[in-house]
Structure 1
Amino acid sequence: MKISKVEVMLLQSSKKMKETVPGSPADWSNIPWRPIVCRIYTDEGIYGDGEAAMAYANAAPGAFGMLKELSSLIIGADPMKNEPIWEKIYKQTFWGQNGGAVFFAAVSAIDMALWDIKGKALNVPLHVLLGGKFRDKLRTYASQLQFGWGNDLKPAITTEDYAKNAIKAVKEGYDAVKIDFFTFDEEGNTFSEEQRTGLLKPYYVNLVESRVKAVREAVGPNVDIIMENHSFLDAQSAIQIGKSVEKYNIFCYEEPNTPTPKTAIRIANKLNIPIASGERIYTRWEYAPYFEDQTIQMIQPDIGTCGGVTEIKKICDMAHVYDIGVQVHTCASPLCTAVALQVEACIPNFVIHEHHVYNLQDFNKELCIYDYQPVNGEFTVPDLPGIGNELSEYALKHCDKVVVE
């Protein structure tokens, strides 16, 4: 079997995020939801789909170009040899070694599609290829409730808004929620960088604490709260905020600041809250110092930016050596959701799966043929051959496409 061509696509969703998710951070709402995907074809008629997970914010065009560039390197290759292909791209492109998000997002898309082909060729799901499932059901949390929950989204402003959104998710069966309590001010505007960094005024610390307190009182002691920060804080403000909410039994403190090994040590040493991070840490080489210093207790490698299935499995196995848990990060199309579920089913150190509020929106659901959703706060692992999902006819017709052959 040989790779015959690659279609690289920038998908065009039917709605812009601003029509569905008002007030998205950093004006993301003014940018369309634009997943970057590929479909790799073989000379035996089998194809596989993969995604470079940069659907939001400002890097999608870069991922599109990089995916086109790297696709030219795999024409004629045996798609079953994902390890040699990964190493070739890493070593022979010059920019692969110590590469960043855009480079490894493109690698992730190619690698994901290769695993999809392999599973289809052997007629087995990805979780079989990865060694078999530890579990059939995956505990799941409702994510990004500062935007609301469900189809009717609006910024959470008052403490009652935060409590109401959390209760709504809990009534659906979730026993864990994630919220960025420091996204919107009391008028519904996003906070500026200056307001969230450095030593904070008591007003900001007290505002965040009051929102956390409201959610904890609303959901009770048996629902976990994950505190999201999107790296908008720096080490000083992250420590201030972290100390103020320790008493509310925070499950983990996500992306407290821009991930760097030295500041991670400082934050971890100052707080008694497990730290979660990783969606902006790429490859096993970047993860290594965090493992060695024990500064992250739950890693969150993104299946669509860290290097794909081949790389994420290595990262998760390395984390297991250090007794570090895993939540695979996914904020992308349903392609990445399907792959993340299968990877999480196959690792012993899985903790919880993220169900992003964007996964509830039509602008995302329409892009794939299957719409996987949790039931009572648990996901069932897909059992179809390959990754378990593929691009819809809508997606294939509404895209900017380049064919590499």
Structure 2
Amino acid sequence: MAAMTTDAIDHIETHIVTIKRDTPYLGPLGPGEAVNERGYFVRATNRTIYPTEDRSVLVKVVTRDGAVGWGETYGLTAPEVIGALIDDLILPLLRGRDPFDAGAIWEDLYDILRVRGYGGGFYLDAVAAVDIALWDICGKLAGRPVRKLLGGERRSEIPAYVSGLPRATLAERVDLAAAFVARGFEAIKFAAAVSHQGIEMELAALRDALGPDVKLMIDFHWMFGRGEAAALIRRLEPYGLHFAEAPVKPEDIEGLAHVARAVSVPVAGGEEWRSVYDAQPRLATGALSIVQPEMGHTGITQFMRIAQLAGAQHVATIPHATIGVGIFQAASLQASAAILDLPMHEYQHSIMDRNAALLDGTLRCEAGAYALPQGPGLGVEPAAALWRHARKIQG
């Protein structure tokens, strides 16, 4: 009887994708904000750096038999770092490995640098991109969508909430929100970091214009100390806030718990997490009603482990979705379809609606819900038009 042969990882390519924007992410520059010589600016409100373009890193994993998997991670700052980490550290350890060992591979890659202090940041972003690509290969080799490999498809579409109202004035932002509601969207989140006319004023204007039934959320972008955050959220409670996202700095775990104890609004967090090891101590405080894993940071393996840990504590998962061309967005939808308690998924309309045109496959959000990508693996891959925006850096 002939021995069973198994395909194996052979090589990995990384590409930086850069797509011009007319308006910076979240909205126009605010008072005192300026673009530097490298194309970055710092939001004065949350002290966070952003590029003026959409930028991400695509990863292509190829097996010895020619199977191809696509992954993607953040490339907002210093994207060349991702390519260097994959080329120097990750690829030599993965060459010859079975792509169906994706979970074990994540653990092996995490272990090699855990005592060096690299349990997050750029390194785990690089691991996340590779992890997504391995799951894509597994789905393609099995001839099934990734969601079928993650415990089964629990929903055929995923409710979506509109994220961001990137307009210059409050009146324009209210009009944009109303237009989305008219299209069938029932939940809208705005960014406190660009609410220059005042957070309470913006929430009041949206509630007045949209009525009592639309779910309204605020991303506080880690702007406040625990006392200030709690006092502000209490003032906002009469407007019917559906959840308060990231009210304090991510490292202030006790501060997050303090806010949760002080308010009646559900608290959400988790977009900056890379693994279940970030989720566990925060969930242990009882502070979070909602976890928001970001596929571009976690990859599929850790996205699912975070959601499963949260679910065991009866905490819902509402995934975060940020800047990218759509590969890790598709991965997030695949994983979300398999999670039990998932009320909705973030919809970054100012990014996805134009960048998804650079992909082959279905990546669509309309009438308040995402359609699931169809076909084996992730169900999407780069189209020919994408490569006009890409630059190969490794592989």
- Compute the TM-score of the two structures, normalised by the length of structure 2: 0.87
Q: Quick one: which amino acid aligns to residue 277 of structure 2? A: W
SS at match of 1:222: coil
CA contact (8 A) 1:9 1:38 kept: yes
Shift of 1:86: 1.2
CA contact (8 A) 2:60 2:71 kept: yes
Please point out which of 132, 137, 140 is paired with 2:157: 137
Match of 1:342 in 2: 334
Using the alignment, how far apart are the partners of 1:122 and 1:283 within structure 2? Answer: 26
Match of 2:42 in 1: 26
SS at match of 2:296: coil
Please point out which of 275, 281, 284 is paired with 1:289: 281
Match of 2:187 in 1: 176
Match of 1:4 in 2: 10
Match of 1:244 in 2: 235
| Count of residues in correspondence between the two structures | 371
CA contact (8 A) 1:226 1:253 kept: yes
Match of 1:368 in 2: 359
**Is the counterpart of residue 111 in structure 1 residue 111 in structure 2?**
no
Using the alignment, how far apart are the partners of 1:80 and 1:397 within structure 2? Answer: 32
SS at match of 2:297: coil
CA RMSD, 1 decimal = 2.2
Q: Quick one: which amino acid aligns to residue 104 of structure 1? A: L
Using the alignment, how far apart are the partners of 1:94 and 1:265 within structure 2? Answer: 27
SS at match of 1:319: helix
CA contact (8 A) 1:276 1:299 kept: yes
- 1:59-74 alignment to 2 at 5 Å? 59-69=78-88, 70-74=90-94
CA contact (8 A) 2:192 2:221 kept: no
**For 1:269-289, what per-residue CA distance to the aligned partner results, in whole angstroms no more than 9, with x for missing partners?**
111100010011221111112
Using the alignment, how far apart are the partners of 2:10 and 2:25 within structure 1? Answer: 39
Match of 2:3 in 1: none
Shift of 1:244: 1.1
**Is the counterpart of residue 328 in structure 1 residue 319 in structure 2?**
yes
Q: Quick one: which amino acid aligns to residue 268 of structure 1? A: A
Using the alignment, how far apart are the partners of 1:85 and 1:213 within structure 2? Answer: 48
Please point out which of 274, 297, 318 is paired with 2:266: 274
Q: Which moved more, 1:351-360 or 1:166-175?
A: 351-360
**Is the counterpart of residue 161 in structure 1 residue 172 in structure 2?**
yes
Shift of 1:71: 2.8
Using the alignment, how far apart are the partners of 1:83 and 1:327 within structure 2? Answer: 22
Q: Which moved more, 1:346-355 or 1:387-396?
A: 387-396
SS at match of 1:165: helix
Please point out which of 248, 256, 265 is paired with 2:247: 256
Using the alignment, how far apart are the partners of 1:349 and 1:104 within structure 2? Answer: 26
Match of 1:357 in 2: 349
Q: Quick one: which amino acid aligns to residue 56 of structure 2? A: P
Change (3 A) 1:178 1:370: same
**For 1:33-71, what per-residue CA distance to the aligned partner results, in whole angstroms no more than 9, with x for missing partners?**
22111000011111000011x243x35343343333323
Change (3 A) 1:15 1:182: closer
- Compute the TM-score of the two structures, normalised by the length of structure 1: 0.85
Shift of 1:263: 0.8
Match of 1:226 in 2: 217
Shift of 1:247: 0.8
Q: Quick one: which amino acid aligns to residue 95 of structure 2? A: I
Match of 2:72 in 1: 51
CA contact (8 A) 1:333 1:367 kept: yes
Using the alignment, how far apart are the partners of 1:275 and 1:124 within structure 2? Answer: 36
Using the alignment, how far apart are the partners of 1:232 and 1:263 within structure 2? Answer: 12
Shift of 1:94: 4.3
Please point out which of 208, 211, 215 is paired with 2:199: 208
CA contact (8 A) 1:11 1:399 kept: yes
**For 1:270-327, what per-residue CA distance to the aligned partner results, in whole angstroms no more than 9, with x for missing partners?**
1110001001122111111222221011100111102x11111111111011100001
Structure 2: any 5+ residue segments left out of the alignment? 1-6, 31-40, 44-48
Higher percent of residues as strand: 2
SS at match of 2:65: coil
Using the alignment, how far apart are the partners of 1:20 and 1:370 within structure 2? Answer: 27
- 1:300-339 alignment to 2 at 5 Å? 300-306=292-298, 308-331=299-322, 332-339=324-331
